[in-house]
Amino acid sequence: MVATGTDNVSRAAAALIALGSRESVDHGGLGVLRLAAITGGDKGQLSRLLKTLAGHGLVERDAQTNAYRLGWQVFALASRVGDNRLLALAAPLLARLVEHLGERANVSILRGTEVLTLFSEPSARSVQTVDWAGRTAPAYCTSSGRALLLDHNRSELAILFASTEFRRLAPNSPRDVEALHRRIVTSRARGYAVVDEEFEPGLVAAAAPVRDFSGRICAAVNVSAPKFRLGGARRLAAAGRALKEVGDELTLLMGENTDDGVSRDSEQL
């Protein structure tokens, strides 16, 4: 994509579009030389422009490869728009879920090793989890992350999390890919994921995947709440089943309903 103008706005737009391309995603970003070739810009000017965009969180630079990729601010802005069809279909289902469970419900998508919340439906409770819309959280220790990773096998997880530090954010956080994979296998068999004090002490959560017309997991619906209110195997499992129903219904509305138990990984615990 060659910039159609010579002003900084045109150059910035061309650079951001290039960084959102399939080539950039597949290669984990693009270097200044490649960006200059794609946009037709001067590499010196482009380098200065990218530093400015990085200062605003619109792009970020990999310290090891020096490649640029889209930054957190772009995804935060995108969360205000998101997938209009997904959000339009999800909103009434989440409202119904909140009424049923009495807890805040969210729709999230996967961005690398992070979960980005697109939409959050609050509950009427005075004590509830915070609104995460537009914010990210680690995928390895959250219910929504686990639901979004439900189709990943051990090898895919190892590649995805190769550079991730599995920090112990709470007492039960998974410590490595092996532990994460075992929990995903268990979640896959149920069709929903639950976490108990993995992301934050005293916090429990449940989530279920949403699939698009091709059967690919495109989003997750989840609820999280204080452990004193939603904790316990029965209550958490009941929340998981309710979320699976919503996820399955949203999948149908998105145009594809896949059979339960379909897996790309036959490995067992």
Q: Is the pTM of this model over 0.75?
A: no
First-to-last alpha carbon distance for the chain, in angstroms, is: 47
What's the confidence (pLDDT) of residue 264? 43
Tell me what the pLDDT averaged over the chain comes to: 86
pLDDT category at 16 given cuts 50, 70, 90 is very high
What span, in angstroms and rounded, lies between the C-alpha atoms of 37 and 33? Answer: 6
pLDDT confidence band for 260 (50 / 70 / 90):
very low
Average the pLDDT over each of 127-136, 146-155, 244-253 and give the range with the smallest value.
Answer: 127-136
What percent of the chain has a predicted confidence (pLDDT) above 90?
62
pLDDT of residue 99: 92
Residue of higher predicted confidence among 175 and 74: 175
pLDDT for 62-103, tens place per residue?
Answer: 988 999 999 878 876 765 554 677 888 898 999 999 999 999
Residue 80's pLDDT is what? 55
258 confidence band (pLDDT: 50, 70, 90): very low
Give the tens place of pLDDT for each residue, 128-142.
455 567 788 999 999
Amino acid occupying residue 86: L
Say how far residue 128 (Cα) sits from the centre of its chain: 21
Sketch out the chain's domains with CATH numbers.
8-70 (1.10.10.10), 76-254 (3.30.450.40)
57-71, 150-164, 249-263: which has the minimum mean pLDDT?
249-263
